[in-house]
């Protein structure tokens, strides 16, 4: 899920799996866009922007998206197991 010029459209297999988890585990989700439209990268001052920054600052509990795993990101957030690999 990423911001668009109109209402955010949420779709894809990750979203479908998440919706199933909501039903099975009886919880609901308030989906939010990235505040700055970035996935997340480390800034010169050591802070993070995008979804990674939102996770670190506890503004969100999870990033329900296909977020690339990098060494730097793994240092600051926990990832699930890989569910999709594009060759």
Number of domains in the chain: 1
Query: Chain-centre distance of CA 19, in angstroms?
Result: 15
How many residues are given for the chain?
87
Is residue 46 one of the residues assigned to a domain?
A: yes
How far, in Å, CA of 4 to CA of 33, rounded? 9
pLDDT tens per residue across all 87 residues of the chain: 444 556 667 888 889 999 999 999 999 999 888 889 899 999 999 999 999 999 999 999 999 888 888 999 999 999 988 776 677
**CATH code, domain with 62:** 3.40.190.10
Is residue 20 one of the residues assigned to a domain?
A: no
What's the predicted TM-score (pTM) here?
0.78
Give which of 67, 66, 43, 39 is closest to 54, Cα–Cα.
Answer: 39
Is residue 7 one of the residues assigned to a domain?
A: no
Structural domain range at position 44: 31-87
């Amino acid at each position: 899920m990423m911001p668009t010029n109109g209402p955010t459209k949420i779709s894809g297999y990750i979203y479908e799996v998440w919706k199933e988890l909501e039903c099975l585990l009886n919880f609901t989700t308030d989906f939010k866009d990235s505040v700055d439209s970035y996935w997340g990268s480390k800034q010169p001052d050591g802070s993070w922007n995008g979804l990674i920054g939102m996770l670190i600052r506890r503004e969100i509990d999870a990033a329900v998206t296909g977020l690339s795993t990098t060494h730097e990101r793994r240092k600051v957030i926990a990832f699930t197991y890989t569910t999709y690999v594009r060759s």
